[in-house]
Every structure is written in structure tokens, then in C-alpha cells.
Chains A and B, each alone.
Chain A
Amino acid sequence: MGHSDGDHDSDLSADDSPWSEGSWSDDDEGSLSFEGSGEGSDAESDEPDAAAAEESDSSEDEVAPRNTVGDVPLEWYKNEEHIGYDITGSKIKKRDREGRIEAYLRNADDAKNWRKIYDEYNDEEVQITKEEAKIISRLLKGKTPHTNVDPYPDYVDWFEYDGKGHPLSSTPEPKRRFVPSKWEQKKVVKLVRAIRKGWIKFDKPKEEPNFYLLWGDETDTADNKRQGLSYIPAPKPNLPGHEESYNPSVEYIPTQEEIDSYQLMYEEDRPKFIPRRFDCLRSVPAYEKALREGFDRCLDLYLCPRTRKKRINIDPESLKPKLPSKKDLRPYPRMCYLQFKGHNGPVKSLSVEATGQWIASGSSDGSIRVWEVETGRCIKVWNVGGIVHRIVWNPSPDRHILAAVVDHDLLLLNAEVGDEEVQMKTKGLLQIEELALEEDTGDKKPAVKWVKHERFDGIMLIHHKAVSTVEWHFKGDYFTTVVPSGDSRAVLLHQVSKKHSHHPFRKLPGLPIAAVFHPSQKMFFVATKKFVQVYDLQKAQLVKKLESGVREISSISIHPGGDNVIVGSKDGKLCWFDTDLSTRPYKTLKTHSKDITNVTFHRKYPLFASASEDCTAYVFHGMVYSDLNQNPLIVPLEILRGHLSSDGRGVLDCKFHPRQPWLFTAGADCVIRLYCD
């Protein structure tokens, strides 16, 4: 499309340019606006588009827009020398402005002037051709730009309507008509599931006959049960019987005598209603008590609180802890079959030999006796001439040494039982040189002096203060004595083979009561008044401190496994400690009414026993499981009675037989009893 310079129309300035420049008419469509012809733009847009498409091949290449600044506001260049840049990047200089008069004159001279338009962008004047002017004028009139375009052609219908029943869409069948519907399928799946689960039922539920128990107790109906507590129907009044009939049979009518006898009855026992006969219903009078009874009934219903009582049916037996039956826990000592009589004073202590053939006992009458268990015969007596507080047989089966606390000191004796070899060995152990006691003279009075006891061929250990108790180590070489008032030398360890003593425990939290060795390890238990201290003998340090929570500990015994400790107290309580579990008692058994004098474990059977001043000894089943998750099982088994009280004292000591489930008890009534299974 050739542009002729010269004619310029200021009215159609920049907006007209797309028409002349077909190449960017597409881009500028949005900003295109003609005055006065808004609606025509759509219809006419086809034509110049098509024309531009036609002509673009030729014209666009020929005349490229000079300016390359793009779609920027042109006022940016208003004060510049140039209007933009050409394709090579060099500035396009503005043309010199003609003066207005010059322009007027030139325009007045030029007949084609009305066809000239100033292209501000490229800073040039463009002259439109007559055809173009024609198109514009047509557009302004709202017609199609080209004359040869018929905007309203006749409609040619390609479909034949003749013989067809109804109109059909001309559109081809969509694809969805041929594929199964996804949504329908989902819906079907839902329904199928509902049918399968029974949410949808096809056959109507059968109409159930709507009978109900007219006179039935409503409290029991299923309806009420389902609703729970919500509704409690009032109890029904009694139904009328035959006697309430207006014309009851003769047998219901009380005789005059009976009516009279009612007067003799108590008010409450009198029948409420006396039947009467009437010939017909018409002659029945008004019921005189109707109002009264109605009122009473209402009062009853109103005042009587009808609440459903929730009663929990718990068998009290089921609340008891499940304990195994005593029969299953046999054997345990039950009956006293044998008594060892001979002492003349309360038997304060007894001890069983390691094999269980003999027992030794010490009494307040100043004698130590050895008895044969089998027959109850006393085979040896030593009159030591002092109260025997405690006697312990050496646990080793090849040394029959008795350690006895006589008055304030300790006496080691040869029990003189068993075969010659053992007796010789024991004798050898109890030999002591006189020198041994001399070298012990230290800073102050020595804690212990080992002195030969001439009369009984034994050894006397003279302590600085009174000894209360003695206990052997399980191997039979060491033993310990407790001197309660000994301060820093309160607990002493002695070795028989070396005749040596020392006191490893300087500080103790309170008065020591008893000290025992661990049955298998190098541990040591010291019971003070309230605590049990567990020491490691090898490292010489405190390992544990068990808090008993009792008033005063009187005795202690270690389970043969070593992890469980029982402690008897002066207030009759027995505490079982599981040292692995806690430092507090696992169980505290309050069984005795008086002081517990001694507690002891059986070495083979799961039994333990406690002896008390109340003349009884209790036997318990104390099972310790190797499984650490299972707590020890403690079952009280038997109360052993038989000892008599003497001076308010009862059973003073108890010891188990090492091999049989038998218990020996030493009583203040001078008797030792053997309880067997």
C-alpha cells in the first residue's frame, strides 16, 4: 500500500496509523477507537485484517517503521532533538517545524490536503489514498469497509428438513455419548455398597402387630431400658379383683362376725375395702373414699422419689487379694511334736548345726546345751556361769565351733560333736598363744582381747563394752560382734583362723542392733534402730541404706538369695525389703501384738518366720522369683502357739532347720519346741 505524502489531517492523527500500517494493526486493536462508530468496529475488523494479511507479504517488508522506540509515550521525546532511533540505532532527528502560517498557506494551496495525516510517531506526513478515504468514510457510516462485502447474505440451509420428524442439532455427536459415564459409575458403586450393607432395603419391613402389655410393668420394657435413667414410670395401683365387683359372689362378702373381728385388729391390718353387694349398677353409690384415695395416690407419686438405684454387685470375696491356698504351699511347720526340756531359765537363743543333727541353746540360767534333734536328748551341757544372750553355731560343717555371748563377752566353744577329724580341727582352731593378747595393747583400752578360756578349752573374746550379738560369715572363718555402746568400735569383725579383730565401721547413724553377713557376697548388713545399712566389705563403703519406718529394729535376716531382707521391730511389725526395688519396705506385716524378738529365713524352702514376745511364732511363705518383674509373694501360713508366757516374755528366738521345713522356737518358759510340717 503506497502512502502519498502531502495531505494531512490532524483529526485522524495517530489513531489512523494502523490502517495505513497493516503490520501492527493487530497489536493496537485495544487502543483503537474511532469517534462515533463504536459498534461498527467489530464487523468491519474482519476486512482490514484480511487485507492486512493479504498485503503484509509485500508491503511490510518494503516500508518498515522508521522509529524503533516502541510503544512509549511520545511526550518523552517532546523536548528532544530526536523522535527516536532507527533500526541501526542512530537518532532520528525531528523535522523542522513549519510555521503555522506557512502550514496554512500550504494547506490552502493543496487540494489534497484533507487527505494528509501527520504521523507523530515517525514524525512525517502521510497522505491517504482515495480508496482509503472511502473505506474510512464507509466505516464512519457504519458500513462494511469494502463495498463488495455483503453483510447480510441469504442463509443457505445445508440440512434437509423434509421428511424428518423433528429438528436435529447439526452438531456431531460428542464423544461422551459413546463412553460410559464416570459419575454414573460412582453413583452406582455407592448404591451397590449401600444395598450390600443393608442401608437400602427393598422389601418393606413387615408391619409388626402393635400389641403391648396393657397391665405390664412399664419399668421393664425395652424402651425404658434403652433410655436408661430418663423415665421411671410410677408403680401401677392394684387392679380391682372380684371382691370389688358391685355384685360379688357370696363367698367374698364377709359375715357380720368377720366385720366385727376387723374392729379388734390393728388399724393397719384391717382390710381397706369391705365388699358389698348391689342388685344393679344403678344402685351403686358414689365411692366415698374416691377423693381421699386419689389424693393419697397423688401424694405417693409426688413424694416418693423414684430413682433407679445403681447397685454394683461386687462379691466381697473377689476384693480379697488372690492368695494361693495353704495346701499348695506345703510343707511348712505346723505342729509341735518335739520339745527340748532341760533348761532352768528362759532360753534366750538357739542355733542349729549346719547339717541339722544338733542344736545348741543358751539360756539365762547360765548354761549352754547341745541337743540331738532326732530324739530331743540333751547331749552336752556347759555351765558358763553367765546369762547366755546369744549362741551361734558355725555354719561350716567341718568346724563345730559355738560362738556364744556370755554376759558381756564372747565365748568360742568346741561343740565336741561329730567325728574325730572335725573335732581335732576345731580344737586346733581354738588354740591360742598367750602372746597374741599382749601385742594388742594400743593407745587406749583395746576393743577386743583374745584370751584362752581354760575351763572349756575355748577362747574368750573380752570386749571393751558389752556385746549384744554375734553372727558368723557363711564360710565360717569370720564372725562379727556388735557392741551397741561401743561408739566408733561398735561393730567388730573377727577372724578365727588368725585370731584377729578389727572394727571397719567408724561412723554409724545410731545404735547398732545387729549385724549380719550377706549369704553369698562380700556384703555386710548393719541394722541400727531405724535403718539397715548395707556395706560393701571389699570397697569398704556404704552401698545402700534401707529405711524401715518402724520404731526400733530388733532383728534382721537376709534371704539366701541376698536381695531380700526382713526386719523385725519392737512394735511388732515385720518389714520385707526388696533391695533391688526400693529402700523402703516392700511389705510391712503388722502381725504381732508385742515385740518381735527374732526373724529368720529358711535356707532351702521359701519360708520365713518371726517370733514374738506374745508367745507366738508366725510362719510365712516368702517366695522370691528369679524373674525381676515379679514381686516376691508373701503369704501368711501359720501361727505357732504353745509357748507359755513367763515374766511377760514369750518366744525369744526362732530358727529353721537347715534341711527340713521345721522351725525351732526358744521360749521364756525354758522349753525349746520343734514345729514340723
Chain B
Amino acid sequence: MDAAGASDPSRQVRVRFVTKLPPPLRAPLTSIAVPAGLTRMGLSEIVNSLLLAASPGHQAQPFDFLVDGELVRLPLQEFLLAKGISAERVLELEYVKAVAPRKQEDPCPHDDWVSAVDGSNPSFVLTGCYDGLARIWRDAAECTHVLEGHSDGITSARFINKGETEDRLHVVTASKDRSLRLFRFDTSVTIPKHIGAYKILRGHASSVQSIAVDPSTDMICSGSWDSSIKLWSVEGCEEDGDAVSVKKRRTNSDSSGPEESQFEGSATSTFLGHTQCVSSVAWPEQQTIYSASWDHSVRQWDVQTGKESWNMVCGKALNCLDCGGESSSLISAGGSDPVLRVWDPRKPGTLAPIFQFSSHKSWISACKWHPSSWFHLVSSSFDGKVMLWDLRTAWPLASVEAHKDKVLCVDWWKGDSVISGGADSKLCIASGIEIV
């Protein structure tokens, strides 16, 4: 290597580049001596030139390097010193494609703050807005449907992806007007654009902050400012919902007027236990719901019994929570301080977070695990940044600074993009994030 030859030969490390990437990106396994002062970029250059030597048509691209399951973020020499790894033996450097957004798509403009976003459908993006409307964006570019009905800002919106045909979408939204609304529409038909809810779920005494759909998509749970968590049935009560709706509609007709051809549903059960606003709920498995609250606690609920099965106090008011990681058993949560924390509820005896990521400058408004990777997280903060995290390093992988104001919501989309909505009334899409 000409690069290695230039530097001091005494400060060289013998490395071997290995990878799990497919063959065109696989470098020869021979060990080579590289300067110890190389950083990630230098190593990346070496790998790229190795690959170029193997196949002349190779496009240079950034790589990230792993030593013993730890991402190299310092110059190689310092990294080895810090980790206490001997420089004598041949170092095995595993390289993966660097995780960073490569492209910033055009933002989708909204009329008001974008407070909810869902990217669980690969062809559509669902956004909730403070003007009370939820919007469906095809390919995150064109607004095909507007879901209306809420009288106050939407706080959370979710696809209820039934196993049926993909062109029928099923959506639930929660709002500060204390209700949840269910929408169902055909995506192949773009007319009418404005769609009303077919069902309204009422029962919360204060604004609904967060909703989660269970894995079998039969139930919805919602957390609210009235410090309760309520479970709602999506389909089941439609028959008896009729009966209810007649009564409800009558009483309702005095106050909220023209809502017709709508069913009303009421909560199937209520989980009480939190003492303050339930700011976020997650439903990773059929039987467990996690909730985060402003009373500084994260609680695990058993759906069958409605009892709290695990409880952890973290000392900060929490704004967001998500479950993911290895067998989706890790909990990440952020709140009224700039630290994103990850807990492992399986770890006995301790409530200390196993990871803490503290590069943000303000409150964390949302965090999401990557749908397929165990290691990757995205978080958004009121400081206007969206950050990508890898559990294997304490530094952020990348920071998206597309927003001009607070970022209120963030989600992964299609596994390689990050969509985020903020107080600058834009939905920003950072794409080209290759997570293998």
C-alpha cells in the first residue's frame, strides 16, 4: 500500500478486512499493514482501493468498521488503546456500509405543524397535522388523501395494516380533541380526496397523546393526558357499535352536529396506574403494552389482565417510547432531557439504562427502532435534528438537519429512509440509508 509506506513504519497495525457484504464488495482476505493513525475515512479509502483493484467498475463508497462488535469512531491507534486491544496480532476489521442518508428528498409541505408520521406502509406515508387533518402521501411525494374530522391537532396516526389487499388502507388517528378516529379507504381511487372517519372512539377525558396497534391488528391502545391507557377494538364492536352509535349519535347531535354515518365505539378496557400524562404507548407483542409517562415511569402492562407487570422509574418526564432491538425486547425512551436511553427489561436487579445517547441539545420528541435491524435507532429532538444511532457506538451515525424548527415526529420508511415532521410544517424525507 502506498499510503502505508509513506508513514512511520513503527506505527503500523496489521489488519485483515472481512465483511458480510455480497461478493462484489468483498475485499481479499490477506492481511495488510496500515498506519495506526488512520481514521474511518482512511480505512474506507483503503477498502475502496482494494475493491477497485479487484473489480475495476467499483464505485467508491463510505464504509464503517467494526472491531469486536464495536464501531471504530476514533483513529485506529487510539481505538485500540482505549479498548485495550493488542496491536501485535492481526486485527480483524469487519466493514459494513456506512449508515447515513445519502439523499434528501423534497419536503412535503403542510398547513400546520406535522405532529405524527407513520411509515409502516412501504408505498404510503401517513402524516398527522396540527390543523386536525391526516394526510396520505403516495411515495412520500403526492398527497392522495386527506382524512378529516378532528377538531384539534392530531397527535398520533397509525396504519392498521390488515393482511388484506394493499390498496385498501385502514388508518387510526388520535387527536387533542380527546377522540380517536378510524378511516378506511381505497387507495386506487383518488376521488373523493377528503375522507371522513367511519368510526369515532371516544372516552378519554383529555387529549390523546399516543396510539399503538397490536401485532394482530385487532386492537388499538391509546395513552392520554388524563393518565389512563385505553384499549379499543378495531372491528369487533362494529355490530354492537351500531347499537351504541344510535344512542351516542342522539346525545351527540346537540353539540357536534353533522357527523353522520359514523359509528361510535367505546373503550374495551382501561389501564389505570400512571399518575400523569401517558405520553407514549408501544405494543410490541400480543400480550404486552409498554407505556411511558410524564410521571417519570415506564410501565409494562399485561393485556389479558390489565395489570401492570413491570415498572421502572427513570427520573425524567418521558415523551416517547419504542420497543425494538434484539427480539424487540429493548426499550428506548426519551423525554424532557437531551438523552436517549435504552433499557433492557430482562436484565434483573437494575433499572440503569444500558445505553445512553446524549448528542441532542433539547428534549427528545420521538424515537424509533429500525424495523429490521437490531442496532439502529432514529431519534428526533426539539433542537431540530434527527439523529441516527447504532447501539455499537455512543456517537450518532448521522444527523439530519433538514428542519428549521422543532422536530415533532420521526419514523423509518421502507427500511432505508427516515421521515420526520416538525414545527416548520414540513415532512422531510432522508433516503438512501443502507442498513444491511
Contact = CB atoms under 8 A, between A and B. Distances in A.
B337 A357 contact: no
B186 to A, nearest CB: 34
A676 B206 contact: no
Given A337-B362, A375-B408, A676 B277 contact: no
B225 A357 contact: yes
Contacts of B279: 374
Contacts of A330: 315
B205 A419 contact: yes
Kindly list the 9 A-B residue pairs having the minimum CB-CB distance in the complex, ordered from nearest: A337-B362, A676-B336, A337-B363, A660-B317, A659-B276, A419-B178, A419-B205, A357-B225, A676-B337
Interface in B183-206: 205-206
Interface in B358-400: 362-363, 365, 382
B340 to A, nearest CB: 14
Given A337-B362, A375-B423, A418 B337 contact: no
Given A660-B294, A677-B316, A337 B337 contact: yes
B130 A377 contact: yes
A345 interface: no
B321 to A, nearest CB: 15
A535 interface: no
B206 A419 contact: yes
15 contacts: A337-B336, A337-B338, A337-B363, A338-B382, A355-B225, A356-B276, A357-B277, A374-B277, A374-B319, A375-B408, A376-B382, A420-B255, A660-B336, A662-B336, A676-B336
A331 interface: yes
Contacts of B225: 355, 357
Categorize the interface residue count of chain A: 20 to 34
Contacts of B205: 419
B113 interface: yes
Interface in A639-677: 659-660, 662, 676-677
Contacts of A335: 337
A377 B423 contact: yes
Contacts of B178: 419
B299 interface: no
B338 A331 contact: no
Contacts, number: 54
B181 interface: no
A356 B315 CA distance: 17
B135 interface: no
B406 interface: yes
Interface of B: 113, 115, 130, 178, 205-207, 225, 255, 276-277, 279, 294-295, 315-317, 319, 336-338, 362-363, 365, 382, 406, 408, 423
A227 B102 CA distance: 87
Given A375-B408, A376-B406, A660-B336, 16 more contacts: A330-B315, A331-B315, A337-B382, A338-B363, A355-B225, A355-B277, A375-B406, A375-B423, A376-B382, A377-B113, A419-B178, A659-B294, A662-B336, A676-B363, A677-B316, A677-B337
A493 B130 CA distance: 40
Nearest to B130: A377
A335 B276 CA distance: 22
B280 to A, nearest CB: 12
Contacts of A375: 113, 115, 365, 406, 408, 423
B408 A677 contact: no
Among B279, B316, B317, B363, the one with the most A-chain Cβ atoms within 10 Å of its Cβ is B317
B144 to A, nearest CB: 27
Nearest to A657: B317
Contacts of B408: 375
A473 B178 CA distance: 29
Contacts of B365: 375
A662 B408 CA distance: 20
Please classify the interface of chain A as helix (H, G, I), strand (E, B), loop, or mixed, using the class held by over half of its residues: loop
A3 to B, nearest CB: 133
Nearest to A424: B255
Interface string A410-450: 00000000111000000000000000000000000000000
A659 B336 CA distance: 13
Among B115, B276, B365, the one with the most A-chain Cβ atoms within 10 Å of its Cβ is B276
Interface of A: 330-331, 335, 337-338, 355-357, 374-377, 418-420, 659-660, 662, 676-677
A487 B390 CA distance: 69
A372 to B, nearest CB: 8
A524 B89 CA distance: 79
A660 B225 CA distance: 14
B362 A338 contact: yes
A677 B339 CA distance: 12
Contacts of A376: 382, 406
Nearest to A676: B336
Contacts of B336: 337, 660, 662, 676-677
A376 B317 CA distance: 15
Contacts of A356: 276
Contacts of B113: 375, 377
B237 to A, nearest CB: 22
A20 to B, nearest CB: 129
A662 B336 CA distance: 10
A357 B205 CA distance: 13
A358 B382 CA distance: 18
A662 B317 CA distance: 10
Among B130, B279, B336, the one with the most A-chain Cβ atoms within 10 Å of its Cβ is B336
Nearest to A336: B362
A132 B135 CA distance: 170
A440 B363 CA distance: 53
B206 A418 contact: yes
A376 B384 CA distance: 14
A357 B206 contact: yes
A228 B233 CA distance: 92
Contacts of A374: 277, 279, 319
Among A355, A357, A375, A377, the one with the most B-chain Cβ atoms within 10 Å of its Cβ is A375
B338 to A, nearest CB: 7
Contacts of A662: 336
Contacts of B315: 330-331, 677
A253 B266 CA distance: 113
A338 B295 CA distance: 19
A421 to B, nearest CB: 9
Contacts of A377: 113, 130, 423
A181 B160 CA distance: 116
Contacts of A337: 336-338, 362-363, 382
A659 B317 CA distance: 10
Contacts of B294: 659-660
Contacts of A338: 362-363, 382
A377 B206 CA distance: 17
Contacts of A357: 206-207, 225, 277
Nearest to B277: A357
A551 B5 CA distance: 78
Contacts of B317: 660, 676
A659 B276 CA distance: 8
A631 to B, nearest CB: 28
A357 B225 CA distance: 8
A373 to B, nearest CB: 10
A345 to B, nearest CB: 23
B230 to A, nearest CB: 15
A374 B319 CA distance: 9
Contacts of A331: 315
Contacts of B338: 337
A337 B225 CA distance: 21
A420 B252 CA distance: 12
A345 B101 CA distance: 42
A376 B406 CA distance: 9
Among A357, A374, A418, the one with the most B-chain Cβ atoms within 10 Å of its Cβ is A374
Nearest to A659: B276
Nearest to A331: B315
A676 B364 CA distance: 13
A677 B316 CA distance: 8
Contacts of B255: 420
